[in-house]
């Protein structure tokens, strides 16, 4: 039986500008290329889950505009159930402006649009679908009260919950979100926002992960970019090194990682195996331009892992 993942989160159109360097305040620089690509942390992770073999359902909201129609159709083309994706006629689809430098690093500005209107309707839809899923996957690009209600509902239904702390703020910690989910997965800036602790190496990652556990997180998977991931849970903690690649675009590498983590746990893999597989998915996502276009398929992850053993 295929693992079943329910994703509730953001759906954006990414506006990607490639440039030699990011402009400083008041400076104008010439861009090298521009393109649009489907994005949004929720939608990215839904695509990752579907391509990795999960039966995937997306709960979210888009505007009644061209971006919204294209994004909804794109998700459906990946085999994702988009029936619970609402079309809002009052606001525009969310967008993200991504400035991408030559070495693959990026800076992102998000305009929430329809994502900011996700509310009680989406919570109700998520509740109704939980009995038919193995994992509920959430992020923080939709209103925090909605994320909190979905996390509480997942606990009531006895469904494993994974929270990617994308767009984390101190408010998420004050609302007690870390204590409401089974697996909390921030990156370094997000962990710093939740704990007010700076992370400059593995030692700091360990301290931050334990701090997140102290405020309620059962298991913490801290994404460290090129350094891999740090896990902390009831049985201890461990470092899982990244697989070295030469990145083309790091946008959504964390989404590939978290999507793979959700699918792996839904399939019943032990955490150590799930994290090694997630590191592979994140590495592969760095090799292609764009968010959803870079999400790897299950056979690509398998092939990549096999190549490392030869």
Model confidence over 241-285: pLDDT tens digits? 999 899 988 888 999 999 999 999 999 999 999 999 999 999 999
Residue-level pLDDT at 249: 84
Per-residue confidence at 104, pLDDT binned at 50, 70, 90?
Answer: low
Q: How far apart are CA 220 and CA 173, in angstroms?
A: 14
> Over the chain, what is the mean pLDDT?
95
Instruction: Spell out the domain ranges in the chain.
Output: 4-11+40-93+114-309
Mean per-residue pLDDT, 19-48? 90
Per-residue confidence at 291, pLDDT binned at 50, 70, 90?
Answer: confident
Mean per-residue pLDDT, 6-27? 90
Give 263 or 102, the one with higher predicted confidence.
263
Residue-level pLDDT at 310: 59
Task: Please give the CATH architecture assigned to the domain spanning 4-11+40-93+114-309.
Answer: 3-Layer(aba) Sandwich (3.40)
Per-residue confidence at 105, pLDDT binned at 50, 70, 90?
Answer: confident
| pLDDT of 98 over the 90 cut | no
Active site residue 255: yes
The active-site residue out of 196, 255, 273, 302 is 255
| pLDDT of 103 over the 80 cut | no
Global pTM value: 0.93
């Amino acid at each position: 039986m295929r693992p079943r993942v329910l994703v509730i989160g953001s759906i954006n159109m990414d506006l990607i500008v490639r440039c030699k360097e990011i402009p400083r305040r008041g400076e104008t620089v010439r861009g090298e290329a521009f393109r649009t690509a489907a994005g949004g942390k929720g939608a990215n992770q839904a695509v990752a889950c579907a391509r990795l073999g999960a039966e995937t359902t997306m709960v979210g909201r888009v505007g009644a505009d061209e971006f919204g129609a294209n994004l909804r159709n794109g998700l459906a083309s990946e085999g994702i159930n988009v029936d619970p994706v609402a079309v809002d006629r009052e606001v525009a689809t969310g967008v993200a402006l991504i400035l991408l430098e030559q070495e693959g690093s990026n800076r992102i500005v998000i305009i929430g649009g329809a994502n900011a209107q996700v509310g009680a309707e989406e919570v109700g839809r998520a509740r109704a679908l939980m009995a038919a899923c193995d994992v509920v996957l959430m992020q923080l690009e939709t209103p925090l009260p909605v994320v909190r209600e979905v996390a509480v509902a997942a606990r009531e239904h006895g469904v494993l919950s994974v929270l990617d702390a994308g767009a984390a703020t101190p408010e998420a910690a004050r609302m007690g979100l870390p204590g409401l989910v089974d697996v909390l997965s921030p990156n370094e800036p997000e962990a710093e926002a939740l704990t007010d602790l700076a992370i400059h190496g593995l030692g700091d990652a360990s301290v931050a992960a334990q701090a997140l556990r102290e405020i309620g997180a059962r298991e913490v998977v801290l994404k460290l970019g090129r350094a891999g991931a740090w896990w902390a849970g009831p049985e201890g903690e461990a470092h899982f090194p990244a697989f070295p690649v030469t990145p083309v675009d790091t946008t959504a590498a964390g989404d590939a990682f978290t999507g793979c983590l959700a699918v792996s746990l839904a399939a019943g893999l032990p955490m150590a195996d799930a994290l090694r597989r997630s590191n592979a998915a994140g590495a592969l996502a760095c090799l292609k331009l764009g968010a959803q276009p870079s999400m790897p398929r299950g056979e690509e992850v398998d092939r990549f892992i096999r190549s490392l053993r030869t």
